[in-house]
């Protein structure tokens, strides 16, 4: 399988500098098709700069970017037919209605054969929950309604890739929830590449993430892998009983890579690193329970907060 068949976006040493001052250091991104890819970093890390290069709004200083096998500089016009874009500060003509706005946006793109524009507009309005406000002027819309309309206009031509710059910024919890639900619905139809400062949103919807710090890529991969912070798979236990017996039997297992314990208020808290997740799930708890007088009050896979990983990676930079 070629990379263009698997990846929606790839960059190879992509850079940008203004007046010889680097804004984005050589960037190597791999965004799988039909993923929801969270692009994270503090203000000034280079997120918006990267997005603008991908959509052809600015030219890179060096390196190369590829979208669906097409070069972002040489094939910029063709690429724009296959992507939808939502800017961070979305603006609409205030006297136009959502229906008129979508009709206007659709006029910039050729419709697929057999597609009925009126039906397509109705589908988009229903998708973003604006069908009951389709013929009201946009000037009275809330921030959340504008964001939902922004997603509809970005999706009106059925793009293969959505690039969304801070789509949930400045929204209240209900507005954020609505936008995230729309993104999850769209994942079956398109790849979604979005930037955000709201890490809780990333944990809710993303399957892939990348983190920038001062123009430098510091982490990239499946969200579970990035959130593990390089520790790999770790299981946790809380036990009472003979710690020595438990530690002895676990240390003899070839798939156990590390064991650490902490005693608090009569409970022993374990963190057990493993190299084979399936064997650990099938055998770890069973092995512990075979030990005499061993009482297990808690067992599970160690959970991580993306915020903790993010802060450890960008520590020392102004937020």
Domains of the chain by start residue, with CATH: 3-227 (3.40.50.300), 233-303 (3.30.70.260)
Average pLDDT over residues 218-234: 81
Of residues 308 and 14, the one with the higher pLDDT is: 14
Which residues neighbour 5 within 8 Å (Cβ) at sequence distance 6 or greater? none
Least confident of 176-180, 205-209, 312-316: 312-316
How far is Cα of residue 204 from the mean position of the Cα atoms in its chain?
9
The pTM score is 0.80
**Residue 98 near residue 136, CB atoms below 8 Å:** yes
Q: Is the pLDDT of residue 319 over 50?
A: no
| Residue 318: predicted pLDDT | 44
- In terms of phi and psi (left: phi > 0; alpha: psi -120 to 50; beta: otherwise), the region of 17 is beta
**C-alpha–C-alpha distance, residues 146 and 168, integer Å:** 11
* Inter-CA distances, 262 with 8, 140, 269, 271, 277, Å: 45, 57, 5, 9, 23
pLDDT confidence band for 3 (50 / 70 / 90) = low
**Residue 8 near residue 33, CB atoms below 8 Å:** yes
Average pLDDT over residues 6-31: 95
pLDDT tens for each residue of 138-154: 999 998 999 999 999 99
pLDDT tens for each residue of 160-175: 999 999 998 878 888 8
Q: Which two tokens stand for residue 18?
A: 């203004």
Considering only CA atoms, which of 116, 136, 133 is closest in space to residue 125? 133
Per-chain mean pLDDT for the chain:
90
| Residue 30: predicted pLDDT | 96
pLDDT confidence band for 231 (50 / 70 / 90) = low
């Amino acid at each position: 399988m070629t990379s263009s068949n698997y990846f929606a976006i790839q960059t190879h040493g992509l850079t940008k500098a203004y007046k010889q001052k680097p804004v984005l250091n050589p960037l190597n991104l791999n965004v799988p098709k039909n993923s929801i890819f969270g692009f994270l970093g503090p203000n000034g890390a280079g997120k918006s700069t990267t997005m603008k290069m991908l959509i052809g709004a600015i030219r890179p200083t060096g390196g190369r970017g590829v979208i669906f096998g097409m070069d972002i500089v040489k094939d910029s016009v063709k690429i724009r037919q296959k992507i939808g874009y939502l800017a961070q500060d979305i603006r609409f003509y205030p006297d136009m209605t959502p229906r008129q706005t979508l009709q206007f946006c659709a006029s910039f793109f050729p419709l697929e054969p057999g597609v009925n524009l009126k039906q397509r507009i109705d589908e988009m309005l229903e998708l973003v929950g604006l069908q009951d406000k389709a013929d009201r002027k946009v000037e009275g819309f809330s921030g959340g309604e504008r964001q939902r309309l922004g997603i509809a206009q970005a999706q009106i031509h059925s793009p293969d890739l959505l690039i969304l710059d801070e789509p949930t910024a400045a929204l209240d919890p209900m507005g954020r929830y609505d936008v995230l639900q729309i993104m999850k619905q769209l994942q079956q139809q398109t790849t979604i590449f979005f930037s955000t400062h709201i890490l809780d949103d990333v944990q809710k919807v993303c399957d892939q993430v990348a983190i920038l710090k001062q123009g430098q890529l510091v982490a990239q991969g499946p969200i579970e892998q990035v959130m593990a912070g390089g520790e790999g798979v770790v299981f946790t236990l809380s036990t009472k009983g003979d710690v020595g017996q438990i530690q002895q039997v676990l240390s003899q297992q070839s798939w156990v890579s590390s064991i650490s314990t902490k005693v608090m208020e009569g409970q022993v808290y374990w963190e057990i690193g493993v190299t084979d997740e399936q064997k650990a799930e099938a055998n770890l708890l069973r092995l512990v329970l075979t030990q005499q007088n061993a009482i297990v009050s808690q067992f599970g896979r160690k959970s991580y907060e993306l915020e903790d990983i993010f802060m450890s990676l960008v520590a020392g930079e102004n937020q």
